[in-house]
Chain A
Amino acid sequence: MTEQIDKALAREYEAGFVSDVESETFEPGLDENVIRRISEMKGEPEWMLEWRLSAFREWLEMEEPEWALVDYPKIDFQSISYYSAPKSMKDKPKSLDEVDPELLRTYEKLGIPLIEQQMLAGIAVDAVFDSVSVVTTFREKLEEAGVIFCPISEALHKYPDLVKKYIGSVVPKKDNYYAALNCAVFTDGSFVYIPKGTRCPMELSTYFRINEQNTGQFERTLIIADEGSHVSYLEGCTAPQRDENQLHAAVVELVAMDNAEIKYSTVQNWYPGDENGKGGIYNFVTKRGICHTNAKISWTQVETGSSVTWKYPSCILKGDNSVGEFYSVALTRGRQQADTGTKMIHIGKNTKSTIISKGISAGRSNNSYRGLVRMNPGAEGARNFTQCDSLLIGDQCGAHTFPYVESRNPSAIIEHEATTSKVSDEQMFLCRQRGLDPEKAVSMIVNGFCKEVFKELPMEFAVEAGKLLEISLEGSVG
């Protein structure tokens, strides 16, 4: 059966094409000069450069984390190019007409048309290509509502005070090895500010694309939802199919002020490498949000790509009555390795968190849930519920659960449960008896397994996620 599964799973990676775009790319290597050059290219204020340099100095002293259950050769940080941008972007095109058509075609091919008339109404997109943001759509409409949605490099010019106040406030510079590296060399990403009492009129979305060879992508996203505001943000990503591994080390910071709500959804589909584990993206990401009083942050992620994933979207529940949620589906196949989960740090009174994690392992992959729930002494009446389910498809894969539960408040209640199972013969028999072919049956069973998470996704993403899983699992049982 395993053989058949492997065969069935060896599907094409649809986003694996390379765009023929002339780029300006830095020579590989990393030192203070490279950081100065990035900062200069972006025309950043002096304090930003200082901030980058101090992060770099911290990073030099830090050690690569080894605690995750992933195995990959040591990364040579000197062999990576830290900046790459399409040449056509140098003159900062004023409108879509001036943008290189090849770039637009790339996004169209990926199913993300950037011409507003062609888009699904109600989603504004920031398209990041290697190290720069190509275009941000629907800006006027958003500006009317007072919402700021622009590349972070632009925000540094237009709203330096906001950026200065919040950057690094949720994920400190020396938080971890990859976050520190990101602080030093980050290139672009999105900046969102939702003013007080505003409900963002449309979904915001950033689409990240790595195109250039031997580069890393180091994006940085900062979302601030001011008091009583609401925003739903979507993130997508793909990369070409290559034999070399590429590094993606992003930092995402969310700030939900009193009574604000941020919903952050990700469909991660970086190139996962081939069946033998050759190539693919190393996805080492730090995502964290802070919730003030009555605020809510909800992370939903569907992880199907990357050869190695190391990612723990977390919530610091600082304000009383704040709520953190984490809904995750992680699918690994081939030789993919995923070590992902969340941290819920309960500081305020009556804070609540929910963690639903669904791991699906197939082929020769390894899929781990690693999570932390901490109730601090002040977390009076706090509550956590965690459920981690793993589904194994085939006998060569692994499914693991590493939950850390720390409680220092007697009135806090924590519940954690985890189960592991496989697609059972009985389930398959029942479906087939009802006339479903094996592929449909598996897809249905897996979809059912993930349902609790999918229902949290915005509609367009739920469709995409469902499709992704279907393709990935095509014919997985013979």
Chain B
Amino acid sequence: MSEWLESAIARAQGINDWLAPKRAHALELLANTKWPTRKTEAWRYTPLRPVERTQAKVISDKVNLSPVVIADLSAIELVFVNGQFDQAQLAKALPEGLSISLGSELGSAEKADALSIFSTIKPERHIFGLVNDALAQDVVVVSVAEGVEITQPIRISSLLSQGAESHTRVQVVLSAGSRLTVIEDVQAQGDSFNTAFVEYNVAANARLEHYRFALQTGSNVAIGGSHFNLHDHAKMNSTIVGFGSDLSRLDTDIIHAGEFADAKLNAMYLLDGKELFDLHATVEHAKPNGKTEENVRCIVADRARAVFNGRIHIHRDAQKTLAELNNRNLLLSDKAEINTKPELEIYADDVKCAHGATVAQIDKQALYYLQTRGVSRSKAQVMLNFGFINELIDLMPNAALAEWIRPIIRERFAQMEVK
């Protein structure tokens, strides 16, 4: 076991609050978990040295930070500063049918509900998920009442000052027939360490639109997860945009717990420098007639390393499932590295499942074509890279977010090209 984990466990042992039984359970599991090494399948390509070396500390003094502004978004802001929920930044009046509160401030019935979901959607296999169980200061519970459509998106931002450590936890509950858009975002100033986990329970016929932006770069360690439980006829559409840092790891789990659920996941990551980004996307089809469509695209430049693990697991009962995963990767430099593993585990026969993965560089003919049309080589490269990613940005349902992210990505490609 690493020193870092030992100290984390020691800190967690002192906490006694409404989450105590859950924390105790996590600590018990942690005590029996081996610190991941290259031989640990889930961390095979992602060395944990940056965690072992982190100097990040919990900062309890009040720091004023606010999330970057996204034009035309007008979101309901749910802000964590250095791991603490900043109630001051939450709108006083929320739309009808929407509630946002700290778990510790809920009534006992609601507390019991929250506890019944806590760590049931996020799988127990994730070592840092367990750390988050043990160390998250509280749980912010977002819930939408039955049949209500919340038009304003909710934006969950975790903000970290220089050298800060934070563990944030959110639970989002969509009651039957409701609709909600959630944006997850981490912004860190450097030398930080954060774990950010969100669990979504999407009830029958509810619809979730989800975004996760992991745009912090540099000397930050960011480990997190978005985990979804879909009931009958529930629908979700998720978009993930990631840049790498010293260590960025994101786990998504989509569980088809009901029939006729429909999930779409579009993920793109663009890595530069010595960055590392690791996406582990798992889909569990536990019930029949589910549908999953995943598109993962990745561009890796310089000495960066990209890791993708896309697992689709079709359980015995999940007949008539349709599941597809498409993973395309571009390697831009001879020092860059891509490790991808699309997995299928299928126990039902009447299903249609397929995955495809490609690794290549930019199409030389396309590059040549653009150059013959008078576009400089570097500009042509940016155009082609951007086109590769833009296909997924075009699929983002929220126009304001698409407009916001497009220039950020373009800028990143321009920077990649300069090197």
Q: Say whether A401 contacts B355, CB under 8 Å.
A: yes
Q: Say whether A410 contacts B339, CB under 8 Å.
A: no
B interface secondary structure, majority = strand
A-B pairs with beta carbons under 8 A, tally: 112
**A420 touches B (CB below 8 Å):** yes
Kindly list chain A residues whose C-beta atoms are within 8 Å of the C-beta of B346: 390, 392, 398-400, 420
Q: Say whether B359 contacts A403, CB under 8 Å.
A: no
**B401 touches A (CB below 8 Å):** no
B355's contact among A394, A396, A408, A418, by CB below 8 Å, is which?
A418
**A48 touches B (CB below 8 Å):** no
- Given A67-B41, A413-B359, A419-B353: A405 and B340 within 8 A (CB)? yes
Which A residues between 400 and 423 are near B, CB-CB below 8 angstroms? 400-422
Q: Smallest Cβ distance from A386 to chain B, in angstroms?
A: 9
**A395 touches B (CB below 8 Å):** yes
**A194 touches B (CB below 8 Å):** no
Kindly list chain B residues whose C-beta atoms are within 8 Å of the C-beta of A421: 352
**A228 touches B (CB below 8 Å):** no
Which B residues between 326 and 367 are near A, CB-CB below 8 angstroms? 329, 331-361
**B217 touches A (CB below 8 Å):** no
Q: Smallest Cβ distance from B90 to chain A, in angstroms?
A: 44
**B319 touches A (CB below 8 Å):** yes
Kindly list chain B residues whose C-beta atoms are within 8 Å of the C-beta of A67: 41
A395's contact among B340, B350, B353, B357, by CB below 8 Å, is which?
B350
Q: Say whether A420 contacts B351, CB under 8 Å.
A: yes
Measured in the bound complex, the distance between the Cα atoms of B359 and A132 in whole Å is 47
Q: Say whether B352 contacts A420, CB under 8 Å.
A: yes
Q: Say whether B360 contacts A404, CB under 8 Å.
A: no
**B316 touches A (CB below 8 Å):** yes
Q: Say whether A406 contacts B342, CB under 8 Å.
A: no
Kindly list chain A residues whose C-beta atoms are within 8 Å of the C-beta of B361: 410-411, 413
Q: Say whether B360 contacts A414, CB under 8 Å.
A: yes
Measured in the bound complex, the distance between the Cα atoms of B356 and A375 in whole Å is 18
Q: Say whether A405 contacts B344, CB under 8 Å.
A: no
Q: Say whether A422 contacts B331, CB under 8 Å.
A: no
Kindly list chain A residues whose C-beta atoms are within 8 Å of the C-beta of B334: 377, 408-411
Measured in the bound complex, the distance between the Cα atoms of B350 and A397 in whole Å is 11
- Given A406-B339, A407-B331: A416 and B316 within 8 A (CB)? no
Q: Say whether B41 contacts A397, CB under 8 Å.
A: no
Q: Say whether A410 contacts B345, CB under 8 Å.
A: no
Nearest neighbor of B44 in chain A, beta-carbon distance: A404
A410's contact among B316, B331, B340, by CB below 8 Å, is which?
B331
Q: Smallest Cβ distance from A155 to chain B, in angstroms?
A: 36
Q: Say whether B341 contacts A404, CB under 8 Å.
A: yes
Q: Say whether A415 contacts B358, CB under 8 Å.
A: yes
- Given A395-B319, A418-B344: A406 and B358 within 8 A (CB)? no
Measured in the bound complex, the distance between the Cα atoms of B299 and A407 in whole Å is 12
**A393 touches B (CB below 8 Å):** yes
Q: Say whether B319 contacts A418, CB under 8 Å.
A: no
Q: Smallest Cβ distance from B224 to chain A, in angstroms?
A: 24
Nearest neighbor of B333 in chain A, beta-carbon distance: A410
Query: Contact residue range for chain A?
Result: 35 or more
Q: Say whether B339 contacts A405, CB under 8 Å.
A: yes
Q: Say whether B331 contacts A400, CB under 8 Å.
A: no
Q: Say whether A402 contacts B358, CB under 8 Å.
A: no
Most chain B C-beta atoms within 10 Å of own C-beta, residue among A399, A406, A410: A410
Kindly list chain A residues whose C-beta atoms are within 8 Å of the C-beta of B347: 397-398
Kindly list chain B residues whose C-beta atoms are within 8 Å of the C-beta of A415: 356-358
Nearest neighbor of A422 in chain B, beta-carbon distance: B349
Interface flags, A364-378, vs B, CB<8A=1, else 0: 000000000001010
Q: Smallest Cβ distance from A427 to chain B, in angstroms?
A: 13
- Given A394-B349, A401-B344, A405-B339: A410 and B355 within 8 A (CB)? no
Interface flags, A410-444, vs B, CB<8A=1, else 0: 11111111111110000000000000000000000
A403's contact among B316, B338, B342, B354, by CB below 8 Å, is which?
B342
Q: Smallest Cβ distance from A67 to chain B, in angstroms?
A: 7
Q: Say whether A404 contacts B345, CB under 8 Å.
A: no
Q: Smallest Cβ distance from A20 to chain B, in angstroms?
A: 43
Kindly list chain A residues whose C-beta atoms are within 8 Å of the C-beta of B342: 401, 403, 416, 418
Kindly list chain B residues whose C-beta atoms are within 8 Å of the C-beta of A418: 342, 344, 354-356
Kindly list chain B residues whose C-beta atoms are within 8 Å of the C-beta of A394: 349
- Given A411-B361, A418-B344, A420-B344: A406 and B337 within 8 A (CB)? yes
Nearest neighbor of B340 in chain A, beta-carbon distance: A405
Kindly list chain B residues whose C-beta atoms are within 8 Å of the C-beta of A409: 331, 334
Most chain A C-beta atoms within 10 Å of own C-beta, residue among B341, B349, B356, B358: B349
Q: Smallest Cβ distance from B328 to chain A, in angstroms?
A: 10
- Given A394-B349, A406-B337: A417 and B344 within 8 A (CB)? no
Measured in the bound complex, the distance between the Cα atoms of B339 and A393 in whole Å is 32
Measured in the bound complex, the distance between the Cα atoms of B341 and A469 in whole Å is 30
Kindly list chain A residues whose C-beta atoms are within 8 Å of the C-beta of B340: 405-406
Q: Say whether A400 contacts B359, CB under 8 Å.
A: no
Kindly list chain B residues whose C-beta atoms are within 8 Å of the C-beta of A422: 349-351
Q: Smallest Cβ distance from B365 to chain A, in angstroms?
A: 13
Q: Say whether B357 contacts A416, CB under 8 Å.
A: yes
Which B residues between 380 and 405 are near A, CB-CB below 8 angstroms? none
Kindly list chain A residues whose C-beta atoms are within 8 Å of the C-beta of B359: 375, 405, 407, 412-414
Nearest neighbor of B329 in chain A, beta-carbon distance: A407
Measured in the bound complex, the distance between the Cα atoms of B344 and A202 in whole Å is 41
Interface flags, B177-214, vs A, CB<8A=1, else 0: 00000000000000000000000000000000000000
Kindly list chain B residues whose C-beta atoms are within 8 Å of the C-beta of A408: 334, 336-338
A414's contact among B41, B344, B354, B358, by CB below 8 Å, is which?
B358
Residues of B within 8 A of A (CB): 41, 316, 319, 329, 331-361
Known: A397-B347, A411-B334, A418-B355; 11 extra A-B contacts, CB below 8 A, are A390-B346, A392-B349, A405-B357, A407-B329, A412-B360, A413-B359, A413-B361, A415-B357, A416-B357, A417-B354, A417-B355
Residues of A within 8 A of B (CB): 67, 69, 375, 377, 390, 392-422
28 CB < 8 A contacts A-B: A377-B335, A395-B349, A395-B350, A396-B316, A400-B345, A400-B346, A401-B344, A402-B341, A405-B340, A405-B341, A405-B357, A407-B329, A408-B334, A408-B336, A408-B337, A410-B333, A410-B334, A411-B361, A412-B359, A412-B360, A413-B359, A414-B360, A418-B342, A418-B344, A418-B355, A419-B354, A420-B353, A422-B351
A-B complex: 8 closest residue pairs judged by Cβ atoms = A392-B349, A410-B331, A414-B359, A401-B344, A407-B359, A416-B357, A420-B353, A410-B361
